[in-house]
Structure 1
């Protein structure tokens, strides 16, 4: 069992789920509100997944934090995403030449943040052309074909991030 702000949580594939706040009292309140939804005082996997999905609701970009492959430093940047089932998908702007994509290939543990919630999990690069095309099509539906073509000149890879 992992401890989150003094509460027990279920075992899950995530390394850490933390509310992001500069105000410690507010962070504790957020974790407490998650725990109070569970009858046992433990954070169930469904509760945590729902909290992450709620944090992504109506959001057009999230903060992605990767580990630099040369420096080992944490590097953050805003990225667009799409969600399908229990995963979110990212497309690097310059495709496989993108620095954050290269960092993910070296160290697949990433953190995504939105609306005060942060999720540390592993990312899976997608290189299969059909799967990448599917992800890019989802980007076109969400952001508009003209915006995707203007901002994503090369789409030869994508990244899948599991929310489960």
Structure 2
């Protein structure tokens, strides 16, 4: 299974935003959408601000494939749903730590139960 290089994971995790373009139902990439990305250990995680209503999220969940760009890294990825409550607590903490400067309203939306159900791990392909 492919893994992130140290350089890739550092560059992606320190970028403010990540552009995500999942594959749509026809196999074509959707238009890239800017989202927040966090790192926990050697994993990269994203969530949908709109919860399960996010178009990019629904496409990512359905296709499990797409492309990301962040910090000068441009990679095809596999999206893997994460449902472990303990891991989600740690991802909440990563969102709070990285994005606190944007204000409580934005951060709390990303750690809400609706957003939490959309946690996806990014795996390089």
TM-score by length of 2: 0.76
Check whether the contact 2:11–2:70 (CA below 8 A) recurs between aligned residues: yes
Check whether the contact 1:94–1:152 (CA below 8 A) recurs between aligned residues: no
What CA deviation, in whole Å up to 9, does each residue of 1:108-163 have, x standing for no partner? 11211123321112110123444333312210111116031256653223011135
Match of 1:149 in 2: 108
Q: Which has the higher contact order (CA 8 A, sep 6+)?
A: 2
Q: CA deviation at 1:54?
A: 4.4
Gapped regions of structure 2 (runs ≥ 5): none
Match of 1:19 in 2: none
Match of 2:120 in 1: 159
How many pairs align?
119
Structure with greater helix percent = 2
Match of 1:61 in 2: 17
For residues 68-79 of structure 1, the aligned pairs below 5 Å read: 68-69=24-25, 71-75=26-30, 76-79=32-35
Q: Which has the larger radius of gyration?
A: 1
Gapped regions of structure 1 (runs ≥ 5): 1-11, 15-47
For the aligned residues, what is the CA RMSD? 2.6
Match of 1:113 in 2: 69
